């Protein structure tokens, strides 16, 4: 039984012309436009102005996941290539993956696909089905190389499906944040693509605290919504990691009621999941770090106070060594009670998507004013597009 309300995705539709979708990044990351929204008022800036819009003493939390070259293209003699899009690693050494397979019918049971480096013929990457029915493949590489090393050699940047062009050498750098550190994502946390070392240094100088979490963005972030009602949509699940240092900063800022800003919807998913992990520990749930889609609407949590939940989570993470990994499927849509985030840095999202549901939940019906303003003011949309800073 789900507690998700019967919200209709039809409420999140708007007209997005193809020419407003950014196919390439700007020459300079922090020169993108920035729409600032607070208290119903909208103003236009550039991203480098963000240091003047975030109050001193605020906490800004980014996602330090690193995009891997997750597209592998295996040429076929006299036919279309077979493409494997790596989705989820199922082994610590990355040898076993859940995949999406393009031209799948040509990839037979028992067949071995192979890629050999032009520059070093000693390096070969192979792929075979481990479980064709469940779309699980086994990757192999010649010693002494590792699978991650082989992916850097043979893999391509997994650009979103709405960017209808081949990747370029520039994408390897630009479809990655300047603070990317922990490899594992197959899509970028695009809200943070605008940050530069200059902006980060200026934020530090302005007295704004920065911290990071890790959420490995999956291909599910682009999963099209095929149901009318949110309660019928299967929300995607993503792996996250948090540290006791992050929890300490969050606790401190919650106590002083300082602004906590999520850089990106991915960071917001994790930050808003923290309360439910702590509350789950108090309630004695069997796996509190596995956050279901309907957690935000589950009445079991209503009796647990926010600070009580955060302190319980802090105690638990300290006890197990200072870091915690889990998975969140949390579905943020209108009616969601935001416990932690008072601000959101985010790009402009596809109509009728789960990301639009999150923005609608955060900004209320004003999301239409925000998006109409962005369309009227020639903002660029989606992953390589412009940015916004929304403050509740």
pLDDT of residue 1: 57
Percent of the chain past pLDDT 90, that is, above it, reads: 90
* Percentage, residues of the chain above pLDDT 70: 99
Weakest mean pLDDT among 120-129, 163-172, 188-197, 216-225: 216-225
In tens, the pLDDT along 187-208 reads: 999 999 999 999 999 999 999 9
Taking 70 as the threshold, does the pLDDT of residue 140 lie above it? yes
Q: How far apart are CA 295 and CA 377, in angstroms?
A: 37
- Could you give the CA distance from residue 12 to residue 333 in angstroms, rounded to a whole number? 11
From-to residues of CATH 2.40.10.240 in the chain: 71-156
> Where exactly does CATH 3.40.1780.10 map onto the chain?
10-67+177-391
Q: pLDDT tens digit string along 325-376?
A: 999 999 999 999 999 999 999 999 999 999 999 999 999 999 999 999 999 9
pLDDT at 15 (0 to 100): 97
Dig out the tokens for 175 from the structure. Answer: 């479809």
Q: How many helices (H) and strands (E) does the chain have?
A: 8, 18
Average pLDDT over the chain reads 95
| Spatial contact of 339 and 313, defined as CB atoms under 8 Å apart | no
E strands present in the chain: 33-38, 41-46, 59-63, 65-67, 71-76, 79-89, 96-102, 113-116, 124-131, 136-141, 182-185, 209-216, 238-243, 260-263, 290-291, 323-328, 343-347, 387-391
Per-residue pLDDT averaged across 161-186, rounded?
94
What is the per-residue pLDDT for 311?
Answer: 98
**pLDDT number for residue 141:** 96
Residue 263, pLDDT score: 98
In degrees rounded to 5, what are phi and psi of residue 264?
A: 105, 155
Q: For 365-378, what is each residue's pLDDT tens digit?
A: 999 999 999 999 99
Helix (H/G/I), strand (E/B), else coil: 97: strand
Q: What is the DSSP letter of 19?
A: G
Six token digits for residue 27:
């020459």
pLDDT of residue 97: 95
The 3-state secondary structure of 166-183, one letter per residue: CCCHHHHHHCCCCCCCEE
pLDDT in tens, 284-304: 999 999 999 999 999 999 999
Two tokens, residue 312: 């319980």
Confidence of residue 2 (pLDDT cuts 50, 70, 90): confident
For the entire predicted model, the pTM comes to: 0.94
The domain defined by 10-67+177-391 folds into QueA-like (3.40.1780)
Question: 224 pLDDT exceeds 90?
Answer: no
- The per-residue pLDDT for 223 is 73
**Confidence class for position 76, pLDDT limits 50, 70, 90:** confident
Asked if residue 153 has pLDDT above 80, the reply is: yes
71-156 folds as Thrombin, subunit H (2.40.10)
**One-character DSSP codes across 301-366:** GGGS-HHHHHHHHHHHHHHTTSEEEEEE-----TT---SS-SEEEEE---TTSHHHHHHHHHHGGG
């Amino acid at each position: 039984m789900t507690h998700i309300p019967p919200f209709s995705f039809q409420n999140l539709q708007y007209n997005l012309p193809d020419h407003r979708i950014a196919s390439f990044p700007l020459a300079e990351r922090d020169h993108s436009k920035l729409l600032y929204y607070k208290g119903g008022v909208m103003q236009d800036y550039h991203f480098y102005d963000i240091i003047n819009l975030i109050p001193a003493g605020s906490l800004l939390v980014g996602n330090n996941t690193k995009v891997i070259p997750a597209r592998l293209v295996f040429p076929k003699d006299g036919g279309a290539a077979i493409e494997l899009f790596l989705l989820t690693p199922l082994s610590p050494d990355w040898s076993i993956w859940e995949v999406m397979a393009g031209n799948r019918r040509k990839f037979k049971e028992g067949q071995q696909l192979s890629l050999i480096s032009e520059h070093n013929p000693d390096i070969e990457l192979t792929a075979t089905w481990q479980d064709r029915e469940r779309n699980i493949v086994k990757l192999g590489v010649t010693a002494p190389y590792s699978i991650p090393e082989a992916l850097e050699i043979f893999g391509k940047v997994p650009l979103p499906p709405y960017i209808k062009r081949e990747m370029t050498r520039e994408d390897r750098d630009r479809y990655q944040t300047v603070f990317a550190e922990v490899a594992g994502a197959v899509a970028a946390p695009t809200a943070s693509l605008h940050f530069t070392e200059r902006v980060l240094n200026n934020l530090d100088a302005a007295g704004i605290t920065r911290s990071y979490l890790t959420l490995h963005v999956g291909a599910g972030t682009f999963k099209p919504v095929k149901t009318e009602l949110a309660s019928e949509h299967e929300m995607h699940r993503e792996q996250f990691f948090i540290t006791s240092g992050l929890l300490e900063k969050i606790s401190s800022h919650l106590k002083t009621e300082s602004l906590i800003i999520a850089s990106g919807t991915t960071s917001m998913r994790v930050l808003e999941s923290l309360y439910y992990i702590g509350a789950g520990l108090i309630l004695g749930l069997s796996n509190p770090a596995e956050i279901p889609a309907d957690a935000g609407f589950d009445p079991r949590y209503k009796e647990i106070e926010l600070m009580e939940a955060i302190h319980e989570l802090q105690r638990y993470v300290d006890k197990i060594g200072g870091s915690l990994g889990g998975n969140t499927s949390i579905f943020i849509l209108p009616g969601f009670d935001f416990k932690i985030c008072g601000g959101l840095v985010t790009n402009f999202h596809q109509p009728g998507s789960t990301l639009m549901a999150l923005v609608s939940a955060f900004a209320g019906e004003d999301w239409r004013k925000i998006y109409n303003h962005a369309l009227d003011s020639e903002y660029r949309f989606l992953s390589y597009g412009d940015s916004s800073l929304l403050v509740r």
